[in-house]
Chains A and B, each alone.
Chain A
Amino acid sequence: MVDPTAHKLVQIEVLGPAGPYRSRSRRTIREVSGKPVAELSLAPVPYVAHCMSTLHKSAPMSRPDRLKAIAKAGRAFYEEAVAGLEAAEYQRMVARISGLGIAEVRSAASKIAAFANEAWDRAQFARPSAVIGDRVDAEPGKGVGLWVRRGDIFGIHAAGNHPAIHGGWLEALALGYRVAVRPSRREPLTPWRLVNALYEAGFARDQLAFLPTDYAAADEMIHGSDLAMVYGGADVIAKYGGAKLFPQGPGRSKMLIAGRHDWRDYINLVVDSASRGGGTGCTNVTTVLVEGSKDDATAFAKAVGEKLRAIPSLSPEDENALLPVQPSEDARRIEEYLLQTAEGTLPVLGGSGVADEIGDGSCVMRPAVHVLDSAGDVQSKGIELAFPCLWFAPWSPSDGINPLRNTLNLVLIGVKDALVDEALDDASVRNVYRGAVPSFFAAPHMPHDGYLADFLMKPKGFVSAPDYVVA
Chain B
Amino acid sequence: MPDALDGQILSLPYGVMPDPDAFIQAAMAWHFNPETGAPFWIERAKSLEFDPLTDVRSHADLSLFPNITDEIRDHPVTAFIPRGYGSRPDVISVIESGGTTGAPKALPLMADFAQLMVERDNAVWEHYGLTQKKNWLLFSPSGPHGALEQARRGAKAWGVLPFAIDMDPRWVKKQVAAGNQAEADAYADHLLDQAAFILKSQNIGYIRLTPPILARIVRREDMLEVIRENVEYIHWGGASMDADARHFYMDVILPGITLAGSYGTTMALGSGGRQRFGAEDADETIFDANLSPYTTFEVRDEKTGECVEYGNRGQLVVHHVSKALLLPNNAERDEVTRVAPVDANQIGDSIADISPLVSFKGQKVIEGVY
Contacts and interface: CB of A to CB of B under 8 A. Distances in A.
Contacts of A219: 181
A242 B182 contact: yes
A231 interface: yes
A142 interface: no
A238 B180 CA distance: 10
Contact of B369 (A49, A223, A238, A280): A280
Interface stretch (A39-47, A106-114, A296-304): A39-47
A336 B365 contact: yes
A334 B367 CA distance: 9
A239 B179 contact: yes
Contacts of A232: 368, 370
Contacts of B244: 23-25, 42-44, 47
A396 interface: no
A115 B332 CA distance: 51
B218 A46 contact: yes
B245 interface: yes
A238 B179 contact: yes
Interface in A225-246: 231-233, 235-236, 238-239, 242
B47 interface: no
Task: Please indicate which of the listed interface residues B252, B253, B365 has the most CB atoms of chain A within 10 Å of its own CB.
Answer: B365
Contacts of A248: 370
A337 B364 CA distance: 9
Contact of A53 (B179, B181, B219, B243): B219
Contact of B367 (A42, A47, A162, A384): A384
Contact of A220 (B215, B242, B249, B370): B215
A46 B248 contact: yes
A44 B369 contact: no
A50 interface: yes
A97 to B, nearest CB: 16
A432 interface: no
A151 to B, nearest CB: 16
Contacts of B366: 233, 235
A248 B179 CA distance: 19
B247 interface: yes
A370 to B, nearest CB: 15
A59 B33 CA distance: 73
A161 interface: yes
A259 B370 CA distance: 35
Given A46-B214, A238-B179, A231 B370 contact: yes
A161 B215 contact: no
A204 to B, nearest CB: 19
B247 A161 contact: no
Contacts of B181: 219, 239
B254 to A, nearest CB: 9
A46 B245 contact: yes
A383 B367 contact: yes
Contacts of B370: 159-161, 184, 231-233, 236, 248
Interface in A187-235: 219-220, 223-224, 231-233, 235
A281 B219 contact: no
Interface string B338-370: 000000000000000000000000010111111
B90 interface: no
A50 B185 contact: no
Contact of A25 (B214, B242, B368, B369): B242
Interface residues of A, number: 46
A25 B248 contact: no
Contacts of A233: 366-368, 370
Interface residues of B, number: 28
A390 to B, nearest CB: 14
Contacts of B245: 44-47
A369 interface: no
A161 B253 CA distance: 35
Contacts of A60: none
A159 B366 CA distance: 14
A367 interface: no
Nearest to B220: A53
A386 interface: yes
B365 A44 contact: no
Contacts of B365: 333-334, 336-337
Contacts of A239: 179, 181
A384 B185 contact: no
A25 B215 contact: no
Nearest to B245: A44
A337 B363 CA distance: 11
A248 B368 CA distance: 11
A251 interface: yes
A293 to B, nearest CB: 29
B283 interface: yes
Contacts of A334: 365
A232 B368 CA distance: 7
A282 interface: yes
A49 B283 contact: no
A357 B365 CA distance: 20
B221 interface: yes
Contacts of A224: 219
Interface string B178-209: 01011001000000000000000000000000
Residue picked from B181, B243, B369, most chain A C-beta under 10 Å: B369
A280 B369 CA distance: 6
Given A24-B283, A45-B215, A384 B179 contact: no
A24 B211 CA distance: 18
Contacts of B252: 18, 50
Nearest to B363: A333
Interface string A167-191: 0000000000000000010000000
A238 B178 CA distance: 11
A46 B253 contact: yes
A42 B219 CA distance: 19
Given A49-B218, A50-B218, A53-B219, A384 B248 contact: no
Contacts of A44: 242, 244-245, 248
B73 to A, nearest CB: 29
30 contacts: A24-B243, A24-B244, A25-B242, A42-B244, A43-B244, A44-B242, A45-B211, A46-B218, A46-B249, A49-B215, A49-B218, A49-B219, A50-B218, A50-B252, A52-B219, A53-B218, A159-B369, A162-B369, A219-B181, A223-B185, A223-B219, A232-B370, A233-B366, A233-B367, A233-B368, A233-B370, A238-B179, A239-B181, A251-B369, A386-B368
Given A231-B370, A385-B367, 14 more contacts: A42-B244, A44-B245, A46-B214, A46-B218, A46-B249, A161-B369, A220-B215, A223-B219, A233-B366, A239-B181, A337-B365, A384-B368, A386-B368, A386-B369
Q: Which 3 A-B pairs have the closest CB atoms?
A: A44-B245, A159-B370, A49-B218
